Structure 1
Amino acid sequence: MCIFNGYIIVNEMGSEGFDSIAIEPMVEIPIDDPECGSGGFMRIVRRMDPVAGPQISVIVICPGKGYKYFDEIPENIGGGRTLVIRVNGYEDLSRIIMKSRSATIMIPEIGLISTPRSAAVDEILTVDGILEKYVDHLEPLCENTENPVKCREVVEWMKRAMKGEESFTLIIDDPTGRSTEISI
């Protein structure tokens, strides 16, 4: 993605199977303060994401300080949605999920409730990819937790689940209603 003459170019022509998407700026605000320096600006634009739908993009560039910031906010925030995915075997692990940054993930069989952090992002993951993220995060922390034995048991359970050896329910509770299962 790049910015050219006030437009956001999401993808180069023909690359990745879809054409470039350029959308006109909605608002551009000059920024001239001690934090950003002179010549900075904030640009707010609309862009269409082929998977997540319409987005509001916020770009802040402070050339004097070398600071750049980019964030996207979904335009279609609506009513909540809860996905309940029953995983009964190895074949279910390859199901593809678009998980919004606002979603809470739960696996009742092991008591997992994972609420989104402030740095959370929208992600496209498989079911086993979700488990792998938790294993990668938890495993190095187990010895420093309140209950290291229980932590190691949960990590081992997740590893077995990633091999299709455990059946479980994956619940994705999304107050924005944007999380969904993707069929490819």
Structure 2
Amino acid sequence: MNETINEMIIKCPACGVEGLAKSIMKEMEIPHFGNVMETTILCPSCGFKHSDIIALEQNDPAKYVLEINKNNLSIRVVRSQSATVIIPEIGVKVEPGPKSEGYVTNVEGVLTRFESAVKKALTLFEDAESQKNAKDTLNQIQELKKGNSTATLIILDPFGQSNIVSENVEIFEIPDEELHDLKTGFSHIE
């Protein structure tokens, strides 16, 4: 794997201390993903850490579909910063926003990310209906992680930079009418 590394000392974006935070940019090629720029900022003063993976190539829009079951929790998942991730059976969906980050994980890692978001929602919403819905969703995610149920993992990527690395994944084109409604995480000025 060829990689180019560029390191700089910068002003920390969190605490504002000059000349301590380290910015590391690493350009590399990742199998099944293509050329990417991995960026990391670390500040020893306040402990701030930020990492992101930015795809440097654009491919055709793609929809990746995988049935989640106990036998495929370790399958690699690459999610670009512009992709939407959905598990329709349990009603969870993450759309890209301006601070959206790409990541490489596995199916279980995607479930853990949803689990963390639902736990956060439990602390934010106090009404009985929201609490019940969040607890039901949390239970369904935990059952998937234990391998006691199945569901569908869908990744919609308008730039085709995501991937589910499995011979069992189904890859579809995204119709123009669906593509038009997908969020990308990027701001547009019209």
Identical positions, percent:
24
Whether 1:133 and 2:113 are equivalent positions in the alignment is yes
TM-score normalised to the size of structure 2?
0.61
Partner amino acid, structure 2, of 1:74: A
Determine the structure 1 residue equivalent to 2:74. 94
Answer yes or no: is the 8 Å Cα contact 1:101–1:121 preserved in 2: yes
Q: SS of the counterpart of 1:128?
A: helix
Determine the structure 2 residue equivalent to 1:54. 35
Q: Distance in 2 between matches of 1:70 and 1:127?
A: 20
Q: 2:100 aligns with which of 120, 126, 130?
A: 120
- Structure showing the higher strand proportion among its residues: 1
Q: Distance in 2 between matches of 1:114 and 1:130?
A: 11
Inter-CA distance 166–74: structure 2 relative to 1 (3 Å threshold): same
Q: 2:142 aligns with which of 159, 162, 178?
A: 159
Cα distance, 1:70 vs structure 2: 8.6
Q: SS of the counterpart of 1:102?
A: coil
Whether 1:148 and 2:143 are equivalent positions in the alignment is no
TM-score normalised to the size of structure 1?
0.63
Partner amino acid, structure 1, of 2:119: E
Q: Distance in 1 between matches of 2:92 and 2:116?
A: 15
> For 1:65-104, what aligned pairs fall within 5 Å after superposition?
73-87=54-68, 89-104=69-84
Q: Distance in 2 between matches of 1:163 and 1:46?
A: 35
Answer yes or no: is the 8 Å Cα contact 1:46–1:54 preserved in 2: no
Q: Higher Cα Rg: structure 1 or 2?
A: 1
Map Cα deviations across residues 116-171 of structure 1 (whole Å, 9 max, x no partner): 23222221111111111111222143153251111110001100110011110010
Inter-CA distance 128–23: structure 2 relative to 1 (3 Å threshold): closer
Q: Distance in 2 between matches of 1:143 and 1:22?
A: 42
Aligned residues: 144
Cα distance, 1:76 vs structure 2: 1.2
Cα distance, 1:176 vs structure 2: 1.1
Q: Distance in 1 between matches of 2:156 and 2:63?
A: 4
Q: Distance in 2 between matches of 1:71 and 1:96?
A: 17
* Gaps in structure 1 of 5+ consecutive residues: 1-17, 25-36, 38-44, 60-68
* Gaps in structure 2 of 5+ consecutive residues: 7-17, 19-24, 41-49, 167-190
More relative contact order, 1 or 2 (CA 8 Å, 6+ apart): 2
Inter-CA distance 56–98: structure 2 relative to 1 (3 Å threshold): closer
Please report the RMSD computed on the Cα atoms of aligned residues, expressed in angstroms. Answer: 3.6
Q: 1:174 aligns with which of 150, 153, 157?
A: 157
Q: Distance in 2 between matches of 1:144 and 1:57?
A: 32
